[in-house]
């Protein structure tokens, strides 16, 4: 039967190949997005494996460390520079990744990007801060990304940089191949990425299901004929599923390959302050294999679900009977989802950061399940009201079709309903991110012991006067503040302050909060990417599901046409049965999305201008997508209701 299915696909002609191509294109796009999401997780792991040496495990008390390390963040030209000061008390110690040996005192090893920047900027703006010229380059094995700025400086024993108090601690290193305990920035980004992947995966799964169902719907009459000729349920199922599985598997492989091809462009998207190595965002062989197998299995399951109307039995096929309905028991699932949310919300304060992503995914899964469960029930309620209050033929037809098949009527709406849920989840977060106040980015500050502040002020003024850089020097407690009159002199002033307080690096208030600023920007950018991806996938799934629904009802549509129903009436009925249920389902999904976001940020944040802009954009985009999807399937409606359609078959 598998050979028969593949033969039918191969000999099906241009129409069969076109349909299979459209289904395959949808599956390939969905797989590419899924592979990109998995690639982001892979990239974070690769990053951490290369940069973990900067926060190494500390040597146990009573043991000799292989090195002493102080990690600080400097700035030049508005870009952060990761500065690692090292002293090696153990001769022949294994160096950090990316270095051929431990740096000797006075040596400076820099990343390629920093070497390029040092050659571009005047020496007084950057190079003069280091003990000497660059000794060599830090290899890729020790860098977060190709554009990262890193300086590894060898210090002699007893160097003030490693003895003075400052904003970071001096770590006695046990070994550079072991990362220290504690929560790192990479852990936080990993958990946020897991949540983002979950938000994207569910719309992708909907697109895969819609694509597989379109293939099954297109061949339902052929399969029904086989059933009437005596083919068993198993044989009919194998014929249909084999074709869908073959198309989905090939498309999934294409999607994975396409992700690999696009990886250099994906690597340009900044995260955590820098881009990526292209190899980082390519999942390994086993994850890619799992993606292909998972996509094929999901498409197979969706195809099996779409075959129920042709495997109920020969008499059922002839009468076009199929199980329908949406029962009120679905509300129990919604109640269970709300219980899950409340339980997780109460347990959230004690959840560790490394498990937070999984916990949040459970909440999202519960809410997505609630949206999927309540959707057909809402369609049934809307259909009942439309049929009871119909004042026109399109309204009556739409209401009856919603009542006859609430689950099928919800399928074209599922993707956009889920997109509205995602928007409701992200809107208060993006509003909160946009509401973060700006901080000073023009005044350099350096902290020194109180007894040294007065002398530091005098030295700073003398050095600034020596290079002819006008600036205001003041003190606030144990902090010396320098405000250059010309903002272009900020880096020169920073170089002047370098070394005056060995344990500290001169930074503006904005630079001191650089990680928070980057995280805030990444949250906003990530929310935008997730929203765009969700709506693109939802738009594709909506159009695909709408086409499958037309094919599912083509027999009824032909009978209505033969009975004299104008095509315009059928088209208006089709629009009515999508727009009205979508508005109700969208409102419910929006509330659930806001409710799901409540553990992270107050839902009232969505009422801020940026939140209202997000929600308004969702409403406009959702309405436009529904209208576009219904318009896109109108030629198919005209085709299946044409008088010569039956003869052509």
Q: Are residues 386 and 535 in the same domain?
A: yes
CB-based contacts of 556, cutoff 8 Å, min separation 6: none
Per the domain annotation, does 334 fall within a domain? Answer: no
Rounded CA-CA distance 96/405 in Å is 64
DSSP for residue 104:
P
Q: Are residues 202 and 319 in the same domain?
A: yes
Per the domain annotation, does 190 fall within a domain? Answer: no
Rounded CA-CA distance 502/160 in Å is 6
Mean pLDDT along residues 588-605: 77
Burial letters 554-576, b for 16+ CB under 10 A, else e:
beebbebbeeebeeebbbbbbbb
Q: Are residues 164 and 240 in the same domain?
A: no
Q: Are residues 283 and 308 in the same domain?
A: yes
Per the domain annotation, does 189 fall within a domain? Answer: no
Per the domain annotation, does 329 fall within a domain? Answer: no
DSSP for residue 183:
-
Rounded CA-CA distance 52/549 in Å is 52
Number of domains in the chain: 4
Per the domain annotation, does 332 fall within a domain? Answer: no
Q: Are residues 317 and 408 in the same domain?
A: no
Per the domain annotation, does 330 fall within a domain? Answer: no
Rounded CA-CA distance 75/508 in Å is 10
Q: Beta 67-76 vs 79-87: how paired, if at all?
A: antiparallel
Q: Are residues 501 and 643 in the same domain?
A: no
Q: Are residues 525 and 384 in the same domain?
A: yes
DSSP E strands, 489-640: none
DSSP string, 286-334: HHHHHHHHHHHHHHHHHHHHTTGGGSS-HHHHHHT-------TTHHHHH
Residues in the chain: 649
Global pTM reads 0.78
Last residue of a domain, one of 290, 323, 356: 323
Q: 621-637: per-residue pLDDT in tens?
A: 766 776 676 677 777 77
H helices, E strands: number in the chain: 22, 10
Last residue of a domain, one of 144, 179, 214: 179
Last residue of a domain, one of 468, 484, 512: 512
Q: 532-591: per-residue pLDDT in tens?
A: 777 777 777 777 777 777 776 777 777 888 888 888 888 888 888 888 888 888 888 888
| Angle, helices 406-434/185-218, rounded to nearest 10 degrees | 160
Rounded CA-CA distance 588/573 in Å is 23
Mean pLDDT along residues 136-161: 94
| Composition of the chain by helix, strand, coil, percent to 5 | 65, 10, 25
Q: What rounded mean pLDDT belongs to the chain? A: 81
Per the domain annotation, does 331 fall within a domain? Answer: no
Residue 4: the pLDDT is: 54
Q: Are residues 560 and 648 in the same domain?
A: yes
Task: Reduce the DSSP state of residue 178 to 3 states and report it.
Answer: strand
| Angle, helices 13-51/2-10, rounded to nearest 10 degrees | 110
Of 216-230, 236-250, 478-492, least confident by mean pLDDT is 216-230
Domain that holds residue 216: 1-55+196-323
The answer on pLDDT for 646 being more than 50 is no
Tell me the CATH number at 467: 3.30.70
Q: Which long-range contacts (CB under 8 A, 24 or more apart) does 578-581 make?
A: 578/409, 578/412, 578/413, 578/546, 578/626, 578/629, 578/630, 579/623, 579/626, 579/627, 580/382, 580/386, 580/398, 581/378, 581/379, 581/382, 581/383, 581/402, 581/409, 581/410, 581/413
Q: Are residues 610 and 480 in the same domain?
A: no
| Angle, helices 233-266/13-51, rounded to nearest 10 degrees | 50
Rounded CA-CA distance 8/239 in Å is 9
Q: 195-212: per-residue pLDDT in tens?
A: 888 877 777 777 766 766
Residue 328: the pLDDT is: 66
Q: Are residues 491 and 425 in the same domain?
A: no
Q: Are residues 164 and 215 in the same domain?
A: no
Q: Are residues 528 and 432 in the same domain?
A: yes
Assign residue 65 a region (left: φ > 0; alpha: ψ between -120 and 50; beta: otherwise).
Answer: beta
């Amino acid at each position: 039967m598998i050979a028969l299915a593949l033969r039918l696909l191969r000999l099906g002609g241009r129409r069969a190949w076109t349909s299979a191509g459209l289904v395959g294109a949808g599956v390939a796009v969905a797989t590419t997005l899924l592979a990109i999401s998995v690639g982001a997780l892979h990239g974070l792991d690769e990053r951490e494996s290369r940069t973990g040496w900067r926060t190494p495990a500390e040597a146990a008390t009573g043991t000799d460390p292989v090195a002493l390390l102080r990690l600080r963040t400097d700035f030049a030209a508005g870009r952060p520079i990761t500065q690692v000061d090292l002293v090696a008390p153990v001769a022949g110690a294994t160096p950090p990744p990316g270095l051929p040996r431990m740096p000797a005192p006075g040596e400076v090893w820099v990343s390629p990007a920093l070497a390029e920047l040092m050659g571009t900027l005047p020496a007084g703006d950057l190079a003069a801060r280091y003990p000497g010229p660059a000794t060599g380059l830090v290899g890729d094995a020790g860098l977060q990304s190709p554009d990262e700025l890193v300086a590894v400086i060898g210090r002699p024993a007893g160097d003030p940089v490693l003895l003075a108090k400052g904003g970071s601690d001096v770590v006695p290193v046990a070994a550079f191949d072991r990362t220290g305990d504690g929560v790192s920035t990479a852990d936080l980004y990993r958990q946020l990425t897991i949540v983002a992947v979950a938000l994207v995966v569910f719309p992708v799964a909907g697109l895969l299901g819609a694509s597989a169902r379109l293939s099954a719907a297109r061949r339902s009459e052929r399969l029904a004929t086989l059933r009437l000729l005596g083919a068993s349920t198993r044989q009919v199922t194998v014929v249909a599923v084999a074709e869908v599985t073959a198309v989905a598997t090939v498309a999934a492989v294409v999607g994975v390959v396409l992700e690999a091809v696009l990886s250099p462009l994906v690597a340009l998207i900044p995260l955590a302050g820098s881009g990526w190595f292209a190899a980082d965002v390519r999942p390994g062989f086993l994850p890619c294999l799992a993606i292909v197998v998972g996509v094929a299995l999901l498409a197979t399951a969706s195809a099996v679900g779409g075959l129920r109307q042709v495997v109920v039995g020969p008499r059922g096929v002839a009468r076009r009977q199929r199980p329908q309905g949406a029962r009120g028991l679905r509300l129990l699932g919604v109640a269970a989802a709300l219980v899950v949310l409340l339980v997780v919300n109460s347990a959230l304060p004690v959840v560790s950061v490394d498990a937070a992503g999984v916990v949040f995914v459970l909440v999202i899964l519960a809410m997505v399940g609630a949206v999927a469960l309540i959707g057909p029930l809402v369609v049934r309620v809307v259909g009942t009201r439309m049929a009871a209050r119909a004042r026109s033929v399109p309204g009556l037809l739409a209401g009856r079709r919603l009542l006859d098949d609430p689950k099928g009527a919800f399928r074209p709406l599922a993707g956009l309903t889920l997109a509205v849920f995602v928007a409701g989840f992200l809107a208060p977060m993006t509003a909160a991110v946009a509401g973060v106040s700006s901080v000073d980015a023009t005044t350099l500050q350096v902290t020194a012991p109180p007894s040294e502040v007065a002398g530091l002020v005098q030295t700073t003024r003398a050095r600034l006067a020596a290079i002819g850089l006008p600036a205001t020097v003041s003190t606030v407690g144990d902090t010396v503040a320098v405000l250059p009159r010309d903002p272009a002199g900020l880096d020169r002033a920073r170089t002047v302050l370098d070394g005056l307080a060995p344990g500290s690096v001169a930074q503006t208030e904005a630079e001191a909060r650089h990680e928070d600023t980057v995280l805030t920007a990444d949250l906003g950018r990530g929310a935008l990417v997730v929203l765009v991806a969700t709506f693109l996938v939802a738009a594709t799934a909506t159009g695909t599901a709408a086409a499958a629904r037309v094919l599912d009802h083509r027999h009824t549509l032909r009978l209505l046409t033969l009975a004299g129903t104008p095509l315009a009436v059928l088209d208006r009925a089709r629009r009515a049965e999508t727009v009205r249920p979508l508005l109700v389902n969208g409102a419910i999904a929006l509330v659930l999305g806001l409710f799901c976001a409540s553990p992270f940020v107050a839902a009232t944040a969505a009422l801020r201008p940026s939140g209202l802009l997000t929600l308004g954009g969702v409403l406009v985009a959702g309405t436009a997508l529904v209208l576009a999807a219904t318009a896109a399937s109108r030629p198919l409606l005209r085709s299946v209701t044409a008088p010569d359609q039956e003869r052509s078959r």
